[in-house]
Chains A and B, each alone.
Chain A
Amino acid sequence: MIRVENLHKYFGDNHVLEGIHAHIKPGEVISVIGPSGSGKSTFLRCINLLEKPDEGEIYIKGVPLIENMKRIDALRQQVGMVFQQFNLFPHMSVMGNITMAPKMIKKISDADAKDLAMELLQKVNLSEKADAFPNRLSGGQKQRVAIARALAMHPEIMLFDEPTSALDPEMVGEVLEVIRNLATEGMTMVIVTHEMGFCKEVSDRVFYMDHAIIYEEGTPQQIFEHPQKKRTKIFLSKVL
């Protein structure tokens, strides 16, 4: 589903990704953990080219992204992204946020877009908020709308960058619940997270990133119960 080969990224002199290799199968749920500044967000953002890699290639369903930079708008539709800061469009209602892209890009009718939006809102438990504007929603509600908005393009892959880090603790659960359901439905997902409990429970594999590479990877059990490498052990001893 996603294949990442020898991915390098620099910000000026700062070598942020020093050769990432990864192979993610359809339906797999990957959690990315690691210390702050290790390149987790950058890695995720490279997957839908919000950051342009300096070297290497990313294949989505076998199609090389960088080689097909000109078609990037079309390729991006297959990959949904959810941000730490929600990034809802404040000048549109919840309904508007969800229907805008499908109407604009897939040219589906207004009625169909609304049906789709209601279906997705039901899925994230927010049917009653269709006409609300983002500033009237709590953080947890905003993030669930953001997930619905991304799902409206029917992506085959979902990327989450610390989806619960900006939330008050009592709202973390409702958002994780939605992500958990997506996992059950077989969505391919890459989740950057600091929620170790959730990570252990939901992921098929865990990437531990440190010093600009995937330093260690394995099943949650391997990583959390039997980490092999020194820095992984130190990190886990701090966060668990």
Chain B
Amino acid sequence: MVWYYDLLQTLSNGVFGTFVKEDRFILLLKGLGVSLELTFFAAIIGLGIGLLVAISRINRIPVVSSIADLYVTIIRGTPVIVQLIIIYFIIIKAIFPAIVTAMIAFGINSGAYVSEIIRAGILAVDRGQMEAARSLGLSYRQAMIKVIVPQAIKNILPALGNEFIVLLKETSVAGYIAIDDLTRAAMKIRNITYDPTTPLFFIAYLYLMMTICLSKMLTSYERRLREGD
């Protein structure tokens, strides 16, 4: 049990140095703000890209869909940190500020997963639905809009929620390109106080609370969907 008391001791000693002294909690608050902002805009960019990629892959638009395939393969097959650093240092560092670059990089990353989610959601709708709609005289587009997409959304939304939870956690590597997100704020405080335990446990707790909240919202939403059936 000794380690347990040690940990408590360290934490209570660390709280003052970590949060109160020199107003360091403001650093953390700002970091939290940056992480949320980054997640939010990356999610929007990812959704946009994912939608376009999914549409071009489902409709097998020549050339575009092979590029889309390649994009999904590369993004899913390489670590997000590597993608982030490549995009930052090699591609668009010169044009945008770091935070925008990060939004774009995480958006590009998320887009690949979102496109797969959307594609899977649409393909999961029974083939007979499209056939029934077409046999009534609806065009492919009309059938998609009126029949397929409304059913696919039920498959897609829960998986999208999960993707955003993953995204929130993944933005914690944004510090690699010098963005002061929540994780980097904690590391900075550690560098000043030489106490890694308190800030890291604290931000772990924050991440956990946020993801638990999102999961809870998701679960209750899914339950409502199921009741609708």
A interface residues (Cβ-Cβ under 8 A, vs B): 48, 50, 73-74, 76-77, 79-81, 83, 85, 87-91, 100-101, 104-105, 135, 146, 149-150, 153
| B126 CB contact (under 8 Å) in A50, A74, A87, A146 | A87
- What are 17 A-B pairs at a CB distance below 8 A? A73-B137, A76-B136, A80-B136, A81-B131, A81-B135, A85-B128, A87-B126, A88-B132, A89-B132, A89-B133, A89-B147, A89-B151, A100-B136, A101-B137, A105-B138, A146-B132, A153-B137
Distance (Å) between the CB of A36 and the closest chain B CB? Answer: 19
- Complex Cα spacing A149 to B135, Å: 11
Interface status of B229 (Cβ within 8 A of chain A):
yes
Q: If A89-B147, A104-B142 touch, does A83 touch B136 (CB 8 Å cutoff)?
A: no
Q: If A104-B142, A135-B229 touch, does A87 touch B128 (CB 8 Å cutoff)?
A: yes
Residues on B with beta carbons closer than 8 Å to the beta carbon of A149:
136
Q: Decide: B150 and A76 in contact? CB cutoff 8 A.
A: no
Q: Decide: B135 and A105 in contact? CB cutoff 8 A.
A: no
- Summarize A's interface: helix, strand, loop or mixed: mixed
Q: Decide: A76 and B151 in contact? CB cutoff 8 A.
A: no
Residues on A with beta carbons closer than 8 Å to the beta carbon of B150:
91
Distance (Å) between the CB of B122 and the closest chain A CB? Answer: 14
Q: Decide: A90 and B134 in contact? CB cutoff 8 A.
A: no
Q: Decide: B147 and A73 in contact? CB cutoff 8 A.
A: no
- Complex Cα spacing A93 to B140, Å: 22
Taking each of A50, A80, A87, which has the highest tally of chain B beta carbons within 10 Å of its own beta carbon? A87
Q: Decide: B136 and A150 in contact? CB cutoff 8 A.
A: yes
Q: If A90-B151, A100-B146, A135-B229 touch, does A83 touch B132 (CB 8 Å cutoff)?
A: yes
B interface residues (Cβ-Cβ under 8 A, vs A): 126, 128-129, 131-139, 142, 146-147, 150-151, 229
Residues on B with beta carbons closer than 8 Å to the beta carbon of A89:
129, 132-133, 147, 151
Q: Decide: A80 and B128 in contact? CB cutoff 8 A.
A: no
- Complex Cα spacing A107 to B89, Å: 56
Distance (Å) between the CB of B140 and the closest chain A CB? Answer: 9
- Complex Cα spacing A77 to B135, Å: 7
Q: Which residue of A lies closest to B150 (CB)?
A: A91
Residues on B with beta carbons closer than 8 Å to the beta carbon of A91:
150-151
Residues on B with beta carbons closer than 8 Å to the beta carbon of A87:
126, 128-129, 131-132
Residues on A with beta carbons closer than 8 Å to the beta carbon of B132:
81, 83, 87-89, 146
Distance (Å) between the CB of A107 and the closest chain B CB? Answer: 12
Residues on A with beta carbons closer than 8 Å to the beta carbon of B134:
50, 73, 76
Q: Decide: A150 and B135 in contact? CB cutoff 8 A.
A: yes
- Complex Cα spacing A76 to B126, Å: 21
Residues on A with beta carbons closer than 8 Å to the beta carbon of B133:
89, 101
